[in-house]
Amino acid sequence: MKEDRRIPFELRLLVLCLAGGLPALLGLGLVLASGDFAPDLSIALVSAASLAWLVFGFAARRFVIYHLQTLSNLLEALREGDYSLRGRRARYKDSLGEVMREVNQLSETLRAERLGAREASALLMKVVDAVDIAVLAFDGRKRLRLVNPAGERLLGRSESALRDQTAAALSLESLLEGPERQTIQHRFAAGSGRWEVRISRFREGGIPHYLLVVTDLSRALREEERKAWQRLIRVIGHELNNSLAPIKSMSGTLQKLLSREPLPEDWREDTARGLDVIGNRADSLGRFMTAYSMLARLPSPRRSKVDLRPLVERVAALDQRVPVLCRGESLSIHVDRDQIEQMLINLVKNAVDAAEQTGGEVRVEWRSEGDGVRISVIDSGPGISNPDNLFVPFFTTKPEGTGVGLVLCQQIVEAHGGVLTLVNRDDARGCVATVELPVS
């Protein structure tokens, strides 16, 4: 290391202080030498001036160095993280006081920031510990540095046993090297199932780190599956009871009728009516099962380029009960023509059914919106009375309805990557069915 041969600051400061009084001392010596003064007096005056010169020079040096050392101690305390020290003489209109005041304000700012950072960090750790999602952080060498209680349960080991373990030793290296977000079937110490894995990369101290988040989807899927089965069984049971109860009742009535001796004179008419009721309920049950089969076996879309205007106008011309107005720009979309046409037929039919009750009209409007298209089917009917059950399979308020029309429309739209919504109109009475589809 090259030796620093520069003169120390303290020595340069002392030299400058003494150099400032040296001309006055030399001037005094010249005046005494050229004047008619007694030698003893001259020596005494020069000695007193020299002593004062040295005393004030060293005092000025000590004053400056003292305050510089005070500032140095304050800055060292800030560097060490001690924000409790404060400098005195922090006054306005004073150069030294301004410096002290700025250092004090810097100390207060750093203290507040450190307190806020610690509180935020403590809150974050509380949240990480409380969530039922495994959170694991790895350093650049893929060694585990942080794990929350959910992560301990996932890996079946305590935090002390997991810390500093490599991702390879924990059989997690393949997850760290995988895509940022994926759903996998995997077996951990906590058990096997479907898991959502998310990988995030961040830097700490300039070194790359990995954040691994693992969410158990099996429990949520099982709960949603259970709820779906409950809803489906409730609806199917309701529909079956609606059909089987009259069939059973009518068959019992006919059995009693035919067991009477002698038979009543109108037994043929009663038997025919009873068989007609049984046939109608059997047909209704058959339609229900057909609708269920159609809902469960919807094929994947076979996309092709479709001009939207002719498609909408053809659908609008199918039902002549209520005028259906079409308005929109000419544009093309890549969709399954048959499925989109069936979806529009269902929506327009529902709108016509509603508008027919009030003698209103139906409008179909479409326009491009960003990288997609928005199709709106607007009616002036009575509006939606039960919005919570719009997309519940087999729920219907129509006497001859099957309750699968809107559900089928929703499945078709979602299969194309779009969204279907139905809401009551704000500007007038009626309903608006909105379909948002990507152009390609």
Higher pLDDT, 411 or 28: 411
Residue 97 has pLDDT above 90, yes or no: no
State the DSSP code for 390: T
Residue 270 has pLDDT above 70, yes or no: yes
Q: How far is CA 405 from the centre of its chain?
A: 33
Distances (CA, A) of 395 to 42, 159, 390, 391, 405: 122, 51, 8, 8, 10
- Residue 147 burial by Cβ neighbours in a 10 Å radius (0-12, 13-18, 19+): buried
Residue 72 has pLDDT above 70, yes or no: yes
Closest C-alpha to 82, from 73, 90, 91, 69: 73
pLDDT of residue 1: 47
Expressed in percent and rounded to 5, the helix, strand and coil fractions of the chain are 55, 20, 25
pLDDT tens for each residue of 274-333: 788 788 777 767 766 665 666 556 678 888 999 999 999 988 888 778 888 999 988 888
- If you search the block for the tokens 């041969």, which residue do you land on? 5
- If you search the block for the tokens 């079956």, which residue do you land on? 240
**pLDDT above 90 as % of the chain:** 9
pLDDT of residue 296: 59
Q: What is the token pair recorded at 228?
A: 């779906």
Give the model's confidence band at 102: pLDDT under 50 very low, under 70 low, under 90 confident, else very high: confident
Residue 40 has pLDDT above 60, yes or no: yes
pLDDT of residue 79: 84
Residue 232 has pLDDT above 60, yes or no: yes
Distances (CA, A) of 401 to 285, 299, 350, 393, 395: 12, 23, 11, 12, 9
Where does 177-307 have alpha helices with state H? 218-258, 267-296
Tell me how far apart the alpha carbons of residues 438 and 136 are, in angstroms, rounded to a whole number. Answer: 37
Instruction: Return phi, psi of residue 369, to 5°.
Output: -145, 105
Q: How far is CA 33 from the centre of its chain?
A: 91
pLDDT tens for each residue of 369-390: 888 899 999 998 888 776 655 6
Distances (CA, A) of 262 to 250, 255, 257: 20, 14, 10
pLDDT tens for each residue of 341-361: 888 988 998 898 888 888 888
pLDDT tens for each residue of 147-192: 999 889 888 889 888 889 998 888 888 888 888 888 888 888 877 7
Tell me how far apart the alpha carbons of residues 125 and 8 are, in angstroms, rounded to a whole number. Answer: 50
- Residue 286 burial by Cβ neighbours in a 10 Å radius (0-12, 13-18, 19+): exposed
Long-range Cβ contacts of 172-176 (<8 Å, 24+ apart): 172/136, 172/212, 173/142, 175/199, 175/212, 175/214, 176/138, 176/142, 176/210, 176/212
Give the model's confidence band at 432: pLDDT under 50 very low, under 70 low, under 90 confident, else very high: very high
Tell me how far apart the alpha carbons of residues 53 and 62 are, in angstroms, rounded to a whole number. Answer: 14
Query: 178: left (phi > 0), else alpha (psi -120 to 50), else beta?
Result: beta
pLDDT of residue 357: 86
State the DSSP code for 157: S
Question: HSE (CB half, 13 Å, CA atoms) of 75?
Answer: 9
Question: Residue 22 is which amino acid?
Answer: L
State the DSSP code for 263: P
pLDDT of residue 393: 55
Task: Give the alpha-carbon dihedral of 244, 250, 251, 254, to 10 degrees.
Answer: 180
pLDDT of residue 217: 80
- Mean pLDDT, rounded, of the chain: 81
pLDDT of residue 366: 92
- If you search the block for the tokens 């559900």, which residue do you land on? 407
Tell me how far apart the alpha carbons of residues 423 and 434 are, in angstroms, rounded to a whole number. Answer: 8
Let me know: does 306 contact 333? Beta carbons within 8 Å.
yes
